[in-house]
Amino acid sequence: LDVLVNNAGINRQGPIDTVTEPDWDEIMAVNLKGPFLVSQEVLPLMVEAGGGRIINIASVSGLYGGPTTAHYAASKAGLISLTQVLARCGAEHNILVNSISPGIIETELTREELRSGGGAGVVALTLLKRPGEVDDVSSIAVMLASDEQNYMTGQTISPNGGSYFTD
């Protein structure tokens, strides 16, 4: 096994006072516990193979949480932190671990909201005034998975159309 991409994720939005414990637990189970458990199983295989790549798909919400995404933002911030922990654990074994934190990307899940105007406010926040495309994320994943990139680990790349900047 050369590359693991932790891409499973779910999202529900609502004010923090409406988030139930079962909602919280479900979001955390899929968005954070799942990548932890899969990575935990894969690490020994990568150690035995002499290296590998783990790519976690987080979210810009994990960098800059919004008022209606408490559980989602917390899970994705946790995934970014897990990325850094795994990078520290894997470095001596040539296992590079990075995350991608996309902003608004047009996918099957977001297309309806974007076309109905519900995502207009989010798109308006981008400097490019448009949502990203799947290729804007997948091209980064391909680069992180490739042998052309051998020095980056523990980092988060955020293709977000300029809606947020990192320090």
pLDDT one-digit tens code per residue, 139-155? 999 999 999 999 999 99
pLDDT band of 167, cuts 50, 70, 90: low
For the chain, what is the radius of gyration of the CA atoms?
16
Residue 164 is a catalytic residue: no
pLDDT band of 32, cuts 50, 70, 90: very high
Q: Measured between alpha carbons, how far is 69 from 51 in angstroms, rounded to an integer? A: 35
User: Of 64, 72, 151, 164, which one is the catalytic site residue?
Assistant: 72
Q: Measured between alpha carbons, how far is 45 from 108 in angstroms, rounded to an integer? A: 33
| Domains of the chain, earliest start first | 3-104+135-157 (3.40.50.720)
Name 8's Cβ contacts closer than 8 Å, sequence gap at least 6. 30, 31, 34, 35
